Amino acid sequence: MAETAPITQDVLDIRFPRRDGSRIPYAVFNSAEVYALEQERIFRGPTWSFLGLEAEIPEPGDYKRSYVGETPVVMTRAKDGELAAWVNRCSHRGAEICRKTRGNSVVHTCVYHQWSFSAKGDLQGVPFRRGQRDQTGMPPDFDVKDHGLRKLRVESYRGLVFGSFSETVAPLADYIGPQMRPYIDRIFNRPIEYLGCTRQFSNSNWKLYLENVKDPYHASLLHLFHTTFNILRVGMQATTTTDATGLHSALLVVKNAEDNAEGYKAQNIRTYQDGFRLEDSSVLDMVQEYEELSTNHIQPIFPQLVIQQIHNTLVARQIIAKAHDKFELVFHFFGYTDDTPQLRAMRIKQANLVGPAGYISMEDTEATELVQRGITGHGRAASIVDMSRHKPDETATMISEGLVRRFWEGYRQLMGFAAEETL
Amino acid sequence: MIIPLRWQLLELQDAYIAAIDDDRLEDWPRFFTDNALYEIIPKENEDLSLPAPILRCDNAAMMRDRVASLRHANIFEQPTYRHMISGLRVLEETGETAVMRTNYLVVNTSLEGSTSVYQAGIYKDVVVRTEAGWKFREKRVVYDTSRVQTLLAYPI
């Protein structure tokens, strides 16, 4: 991967050509300075970042390493069952403390000098604190209470665990907002079971992926699986929604109410006379689990989460920014604890549709990398996001870039970037 | 001449990886029995007995579908794989079936010409003797390289 050209302009001088989110200067994707500023204004700013699922750490002492932006953190369940998270950095000399991806321990000890911390991040033990025989220890004014780990605010919404460095950000439920909560509620409507995760690494900017999940326009054009195999998708109704900031959004694609799940399945396997067809179309089977017969529910909760229901696959995708031109995507698969064995097997089979090798998703990181390569050295140029721009109230359509525009206006304001023109 | 079992199984693995490395994907499903399982799953999940795979075919028809999709539907940069295998161990054998494990390393060369390690892991295989020779009844690809670079298109 070629390094992108350094951007010499002052990042605060970045200007969006328009105030409606329809022109995005490429510097926001290929500038290391913008990336550094995002760490401060977004990830350490007034946001809640998705850390993982409560179902990953069900027992007291369970922990999992995670990230808030580029900062490594550990999310834990303490002895009393409470959730906690702290920066994975010893308060003594800065060494990484937790060295396993997952595990169970009610005490976390730094290997360097064996300072030990509780699951909530409180300092519990300092070797030789009171010295030994005639050798002195820590000074009299050293108080363990002053030297805990850097703790994050932690809250859970329906089993989704979020952390924040901000003391001022609204409580999590308010941050998610009244427009977005019903969509989360429909998926997280009963206890879930964690089924494992898969990871994908992309040499592109993390926001290119957020754009992608807010962009239904590309769906039938980049992902050719359905059209190639003549899988008909008539009678689909799309709904798009954002929160007040535009940073979160939801896309719901629903089959018409008069069709039941069986009808959907029958339609799925209808093919034209010529062309390709699947020999085994069971990968596209679907059982109706919600009030609406929804084939796709794609819901980014800014900045690190995308909730996904595609047919019967359920995933919480975590976006982890690694550099201005690198991000990792972690797909946390889950089912419901009351799944029948048949339904559980179906969810596992449908993992073929999504993730790094997914029939209808593998192209997404390919596309974001094509953009990253294409814009190298051209921070001043801007993308064009005009589809249905003159019809901002048209939300029941896939042929729109409305969610993308709303996102960029929210991002621009959060980052404090100027817009050149008032529309 | 009686060919020792180990040689027969190495020949199967070598023929299998050659089909993929030579981009003869259409031959790939033919290494399996009709009802074979082919699965690619991260070691991270395997170690915790968690089932989420990145790819899973319950039968050879699903494998042929995967090939058709790669040839005609999915968009990706054409990979150039080279598989290296070593450490084949036969864990059980009955004469008609064998259970074995084999280490693999796949390097990929990009269109721009740089070669990098794409994936390391282990094949956990169950093979059966058929009239057409040894075939995989189960091939579970358990990969160590948990971060999949960009995407996985071709089988391992």
The pLDDT assigned to A4 comes to 44
The pLDDT assigned to A411 comes to 98
Q: What percent of chain A has pLDDT over 90?
A: 81
Distance from C-alpha of B140 to C-alpha of B156, rounded to nearest angstrom:
10
The pLDDT assigned to A272 comes to 45
The pLDDT assigned to A178 comes to 98
DSSP A187: H
Inter-chain touch A357–B73, beta carbons under 8 Å: no
B19-25's contacts with Cβ under 8 Å and 24+ in sequence apart are B20/B81, B20/B83, B20/B154, B20/B155, B20/B156, B21/B81, B21/B82, B21/B83, B25/B67, B25/B70, B25/B71, B25/B154, B25/B155
Q: Which range has the worst mean pLDDT, A109-113, A162-166, A220-224, A414-418? A: A220-224
A chain contacts of residue B51, beta-carbon cutoff 8 Å: 195-196, 348
CA–CA distance from A180 to each of A326, A338, A388 (Å)? 28, 25, 23
Average pLDDT on A193-207 reads: 98
Tokens at residue A70, please?
Answer: 């580029």
| pLDDT tops 80 at residue B1 | no
DSSP A42: I
pTM, 2 dp: 0.94
A chain contacts of residue B58, beta-carbon cutoff 8 Å: 280, 282, 349
| pLDDT tops 50 at residue B29 | yes
Give the mean pLDDT of chain A: 91
- Tens of pLDDT, residue by residue over B64-114, are 999 999 999 999 999 999 999 999 999 999 989 999 999 999 999 999 999
**Residue owning tokens 């994975």:** A88
Interface contacts (A, B; CB < 8 Å):
119
B chain contacts of residue A331, beta-carbon cutoff 8 Å: 52
The pLDDT assigned to A236 comes to 83
- Identify which of A317, A289, A298 has the alpha carbon closest to the alpha carbon of residue A240: A298
The pLDDT assigned to A299 comes to 98
The helix (run of H) or strand (run of E) holding residue A354 is: none
Distance from C-alpha of A272 to C-alpha of A175, rounded to nearest angstrom:
47
Tokens at residue A407, please?
Answer: 């996102």
| φ and ψ at residue A151, rounded to 5 degrees | -90, 150
Tokens at residue B37, please?
Answer: 């399982």
- Identify which of A292, A284, A300, A332 has the alpha carbon closest to the alpha carbon of residue A215: A300
Question: pLDDT category, A163, cuts 50, 70, 90?
Answer: very high
| pLDDT tops 80 at residue A196 | yes
The pLDDT assigned to A13 comes to 78
Question: Which residue segments constitute the domains of chain A, with CATH numbers given?
Answer: 49-155 (2.102.10.10), 178-419 (3.90.380.10)
- Identify which of A70, A31, A36, A76 has the alpha carbon closest to the alpha carbon of residue A58: A76
CA distance to partner chain A, nearest, from residue B153 (Å): 6
| pLDDT tops 90 at residue A229 | no
Average pLDDT on B11-25 reads: 98
Question: pLDDT category, B2, cuts 50, 70, 90?
Answer: confident
Q: Which residue of A has its CA nearest to B151?
A: A356
Pairing of strands A305-310, A294-301: antiparallel
Question: pLDDT category, A241, cuts 50, 70, 90?
Answer: very high
Give the mean pLDDT of chain B: 97
- Tens of pLDDT, residue by residue over B36-63, are 999 999 999 999 999 999 999 999 999 9
Which of A195, A203, A362 is closest, CB to CB, to B51? A195
Question: pLDDT category, A65, cuts 50, 70, 90?
Answer: very high
Rounded (5°) CA angle A160-B48-B99: 145
| Cis, peptide link before residue A303, omega less than 30° from 0 | yes
The pLDDT assigned to A2 comes to 41
CATH architecture, domain B5-143: Roll (3.10)
Average pLDDT on A307-317 reads: 97
The pLDDT assigned to A271 comes to 43
CA distance to partner chain B, nearest, from residue A339 (Å): 14
Inter-chain touch A276–B72, beta carbons under 8 Å: yes
The pLDDT assigned to A5 comes to 43
Q: In what order do the strands lie in the sheet with A107-109?
A: A107-109, A116-118, A123-125
Tokens at residue B20, please?
Answer: 């993929």
Contacting B with CB below 8 Å, chain A residues are: 101-102, 194-203, 222, 224-225, 227-229, 276, 278-280, 282-283, 328, 331, 333, 348-349, 351-352, 355-357, 359, 362-363, 365-366, 369
Tokens at residue A16, please?
Answer: 């969006």
CA distance to partner chain B, nearest, from residue A246 (Å): 28
E runs forming strands in A56-190: 62-68, 71-77, 83-87, 102-104, 107-109, 116-118, 123-125, 153-157, 160-164
A chain contacts of residue B152, beta-carbon cutoff 8 Å: 356-357, 362
A chain contacts of residue B48, beta-carbon cutoff 8 Å: 102, 196
The pLDDT assigned to A301 comes to 98
The helix (run of H) or strand (run of E) holding residue B113 is: none
Average pLDDT on A174-189 reads: 98
| pLDDT tops 80 at residue A258 | no
- Tens of pLDDT, residue by residue over A1-48, are 344 444 444 556 789 999 999 999 999 999 999 999 999 999 999 999
Average pLDDT on A46-51 reads: 98
E runs forming strands in A3-129: 15-16, 23-25, 49-53, 62-68, 71-77, 83-87, 102-104, 107-109, 116-118, 123-125
Distance from C-alpha of B108 to C-alpha of B152, rounded to nearest angstrom:
11
Distance from C-alpha of A260 to C-alpha of B66, rounded to nearest angstrom:
28
The helix (run of H) or strand (run of E) holding residue A255 is: strand A249-255
The pLDDT assigned to A377 comes to 86
Task: Check if B23 contacts A (Cβ < 8 Å).
Answer: no
Q: What percent of chain A has pLDDT over 70?
A: 92
- Tens of pLDDT, residue by residue over A78-133, are 999 999 999 999 999 999 999 999 999 999 999 999 999 999 999 999 999 999 88
The pLDDT assigned to A230 comes to 80
Q: What percent of chain B has pLDDT over 70?
A: 100
Exposure class string for A116-148: b at 16+ Cβ within 10 A, else e = ebbbbbbbeebeeeeeeeeeeeeeeeeebeebb
Question: Could you state, in order of their start, the residue ranges of all structural domains in chain B?
Answer: 5-143
Q: In what order do the strands lie in the sheet with A160-164?
A: A49-53, A160-164, A153-157
Which of A200, A351, A356 is closest, CB to CB, to B56? A351
Average pLDDT on B130-145 reads: 97
Question: pLDDT category, B15, cuts 50, 70, 90?
Answer: very high
Q: Which of A53, A62, A202, A352 is the mutation pick for testing B, counting most B CBs within 10 A?
A: A352
Which of B56, B75, B150 is closest, CB to CB, to A349? B56
CA distance to partner chain B, nearest, from residue A198 (Å): 7
Average pLDDT on A289-318 reads: 96
- Tens of pLDDT, residue by residue over A320-373, are 999 999 999 999 999 999 999 999 999 999 999 999 999 999 999 999 999 999
